[in-house]
Amino acid sequence: MNAELSDLCVLISGASGGIGQATARGLAAEGARLVLHCHRQREAAEQLLQSIDAPGLVVQADLREEAQADRMFADALASVPRIDALIVNAGIWIGKPAPLHRMSLAQWRQTLNADLTSAFLTCRAFLRHLAAVPRETAAIVLVGSTAALFGEADHADYAAAKAGLVYGLTLSLKNEIVRLAPRGRVNCVCPGWTDTPMAQPYMADRLAMERVFATAALRKIATPEEVANAIVFLASDALAGHISGAIVPVAGGLEGRLLHGPSSH
Ligand SMILES: NC(=O)c1ccc[n+]([C@@H]2O[C@H](COP(=O)([O-])OP(=O)(O)OC[C@H]3O[C@@H](n4cnc5c(N)ncnc54)[C@H](OP(=O)(O)O)[C@@H]3O)[C@@H](O)[C@H]2O)c1
């Protein structure tokens, strides 16, 4: 890839996690200066920054909290003059299955806060920065999920939060960002199952994986790098300068969910 990112600064939320780390490596390889966000795992983000040997800094915030999301940008902008692109990647998935009729309001709120409110607060702080420091181009890449595209039984909290991000935020913000940066772009990557700490416990369940592979043309789990490549592509004006509002599944050709196995009549 020649993404031509060498003059640009990119903030990655959730850079301490699996997809975030791979994205940081991918962006660093293209020359970007990085602001690596973490929540609990500061050490992982610090080690990452050291290992990629790229210019950058680590910022820490619980992105469910308005004051912390705003402070994250203030902390970053104390060290870098501007942020050119934002990767909205932080999120959670509560692995224990919970059909909606048994789901607690506490779980619903926990997921919506961590996956959707955090994205709202992060995007809002970035758009305010664009308003304060006008420029021609800017990019936001949101990390959604195939749960937004196909739903996810027993995880309706996650599917609903990601659908808000994939459809509500991506398709609205692509039309708002151009008022602040005329060539600004907003796109969304929707990973399917990806080999990261979030998915690894579930990936050990062979039958569950067979159900996933039953509707996936490529019959495999993504590596974090495969997801990161799509994020780097969409963040780059040189490569994706005329792409905005795109919702890009990175899911091996997944078509949906296997609902009933052969023996479930
Ligand atoms: N792995 C998959 O199969 C898969 C599939 C579809 C979509 N996704 C999406 O991809 C994104 C990255 O997931 P991943 O697989 O890389 O998971 P991961 O390894 O668990 O990383 C999650 C990241 O989100 C951060 N985070 C969690 N809660 C936060 C909060 N309240 N405030 C700020 N940051 C918070 C974590 O920070 P700390 O670790 O520092 O606490 C971590 O950096 C998520 O949005 C996820 O929904 C993943």
Tokens encoding 84 = 């050119």
249 pLDDT tier (thresholds 50, 70, 90)? very high
144 pLDDT tier (thresholds 50, 70, 90)? very high
Query: How many CB atoms neighbour CB 55 within 10 A?
Result: 14
CA of 15 to the centre of ligand 1 (A): 8
- For the CA of 191, the nearest atom of ligand 1: 6
- CATH 3.40.50.720 holds for 9-250: yes
Once rounded to an integer, what is the mean pLDDT over residues 181-189?
Answer: 99
Tokens encoding 256 = 């949906």
Once rounded to an integer, what is the mean pLDDT over residues 111-127?
Answer: 98
Nearest to 118 by CA among 174, 75, 161: 161
Torsion of CA 97, 163, 204, 102, to 10 degrees: 0
What is the model's pTM?
0.98
DSSP state of 64: T
Amino acid 53: pLDDT: 83
DSSP state of 102: G
DSSP state of 101: G
Instruction: Judge whether 56 and 33 are in contact, CB under 8 Å.
Output: yes
Q: Cα separation of 223 and 22, whole Å?
A: 9
Q: What is the mean pLDDT of the chain?
A: 96
Nearest CA owner, ligand 1 atom 28: 91
Once rounded to an integer, what is the mean pLDDT over residues 104-132?
Answer: 98
Q: Which amino acid is at 105?
A: L
Give the pocket of ligand 1 (CB within 6 Å): 14, 16-20, 38-41, 62-64, 89-93, 114, 118, 143, 145, 191, 193-194, 196-199
- By most ligand atoms within 8 Å of CB, the mutation choice from 16, 21, 121 for ligand 1 is 16
Residues with a known catalytic role: 158
Q: Cα separation of 132 and 112, whole Å?
A: 29
Q: Cα separation of 186 and 166, whole Å?
A: 11
- For the CA of 90, the nearest atom of ligand 1: 24
pLDDT in tens, 18-44: 999 999 999 999 999 999 999 999 999
Question: Residue 85 pLDDT more than 90?
Answer: yes
Amino acid 264: pLDDT: 56
Question: Residue 135 pLDDT more than 80?
Answer: yes
